[in-house]
Structure 1
Amino acid sequence: MSWIFLLFAGISEILWSTAMKLSDGFSKVGWAVITVVGLITSMLCLLQAVKHLSFSLAYPIWTGIGAVGSVLVGVILFHDKFSTATWFFVALLIVAIIGIKMTAGE
């Protein structure tokens, strides 16, 4: 169950960071509310995850999910452009997340 909480924490991080971008400096109230709700949800899910997972495992995976997800949202929704080198480092981040999980002993 902790892994599910960690996954939802990461997805919520992607949600709130995307909503923050769409809130236009919190001038669009609906997106600002989604930002705050997503942030709180992300923190609460992370809190539940670290009850049974080590912090040194959960935190980097949570930030990695958010980082990779935000890159994908940036490319898909906001048409961000990245170089081949940038994609290489995103792939490296994914490999690092998998490596942390595989070697953590949880």
Structure 2
Amino acid sequence: MAKTILRVRLDSVAFYLNEVSVGVANSGKRYALSRTSQHSGNKDGWVRVNSTECKALSEIVAEADLFKACSDLFASKKLRPHVQHGGIRGMAGKWEGEAFPARATKRA
């Protein structure tokens, strides 16, 4: 489960910095910076953030400066699309089709 470290908003755009996983032994934590627009109606995507950039963002106090830093960092990295992996029922498991009827999955 992702842990939100910080959130900053300006008008209808919001940035979220999340700790997404711990990774394998001794590899450190992994972070993602996500952007939403239209008051979280559109999920614009996410970028990977390293621990140094995460620490630099968390040290910024002024919200306007933090939004500018998040915007610059988001623009400078490779954008990855937001993908909805599971619906209300969650991810399909090996039990799919036994406990519940099999569902159609859509592939992009």
TM-score, with length taken from structure 1: 0.22
Specify which structure has the bigger relative contact order, considering alpha-carbon pairs within 8 angstroms and separated by 6 or more residues.
Answer: 1
Higher helix share: 1
State which structure, 1 or 2, has the greater radius of gyration over its C-alpha atoms: 2
